[in-house]
Amino acid sequence: MPTHAMASATVSFGLVSIPVKIYSASQSAADVSFNLLHKECGSRLKQQYICTKDGAIVPREEMVKGYEFAKGQYVLFSPEELKALEEKATQTVDITEFVPAEKIDPVYFDKPYYLGPDKGGERAYRLLSKAMEQTGRWALAKYAARGRQYLVLVRPVAGGGLAMQQLHYADEVRPFSDVGVPDVDVKDVELKLAVQLTEQVATSTFNPENYSDEAKQRVLSLIEKKVAGQEVSFAPVEEPKTQIIDLMEALKASIAKHEPAGAGAPGPKAVPDLERKPARRAPRAAEAPAKARKKG
């Protein structure tokens, strides 16, 4: 089924203007939601806004918006003032710079969109896509829409197309230093096993179609049974499996789990255990009689 464009825009590339149409790159797959009902009669409940000062129910026409500049203190804004604060939509994706693709951290990625060429912009559209493919650089741009200014990324996609990725601003992304990583040494033998495990479960292509939301499907299946009047039963919750605390043993067990049956490749036992201490040497046979003679 052909998708419908959300909006039209113009990609500004130097003095080149490329008319495009914007399409949503994702499909709606909302989580399964449940409504709040009155337990006595099964009727759906309605949300109301209550004034925290006098407890009165406030209808929507008596509501105003305000910004809390201090604890319990608000400055009020009229609808006209809020409208004036909105960013004016330019419908222009204004490219400001091209950045090496590998330098852009995916943590900044937000909503994805596709850009399709509009009438008269096919050649320039394809030119921009090929230029970014050849240089390995993606375009950072500004885009104003829906009362806001967005930082976006324009990048090539398979098939000669373009995608527009909405980005978070720098002040919207927490630095990883807030999390922190303790300074721990990684042993060579552990790294060797981890690399071996990585290679065992590695693939050469990205296949997202191999995955689905199993939890959502399970919920929908139970809902269908209840709608049909069938009895719903739940399997007992499995006890958590015993955790292997030893890192080396956990790596070896993981490799053994993914080892194909009858494979000729050496398994985890073939990896030398560099951490094993040498066995204590047993006393020589000649030494024991000598000690016995001294006691006599």
User: Residue 29 pLDDT > 90, yes or no?
Assistant: no
Q: What is the pLDDT of residues 91-121, one digit of tens each?
A: 899 999 999 999 999 999 999 999 999 999 9
Decide: 196 and 255 in contact? Cβ < 8 Å: yes
What is the pLDDT at residue 288? Answer: 44
> Which of 208, 18, 256, 24 has its CA nearest to residue 124?
18
User: Residue 46 pLDDT > 80, yes or no?
Assistant: yes
What is the pLDDT at residue 113? Answer: 95
Whole-angstrom distance, CA of residue 296 vs CA of residue 292: 7
User: Which domains are delineated in the chain?
Assistant: 7-26+87-172 (2.40.290.10)
Tokens of 44: 């759906």
Residue that wins the pLDDT comparison between 238 and 47: 47
What is the pLDDT at residue 277? Answer: 47
Max avg pLDDT among 15-19, 113-117, 221-225:
113-117
Sign of CA dihedral 129, 131, 132, 134: positive
Question: Strands, E, within 130-224: which ranges?
Answer: 137-145, 148-157, 161-167
What is the pLDDT at residue 294? Answer: 46
What is the pLDDT at residue 287? Answer: 46
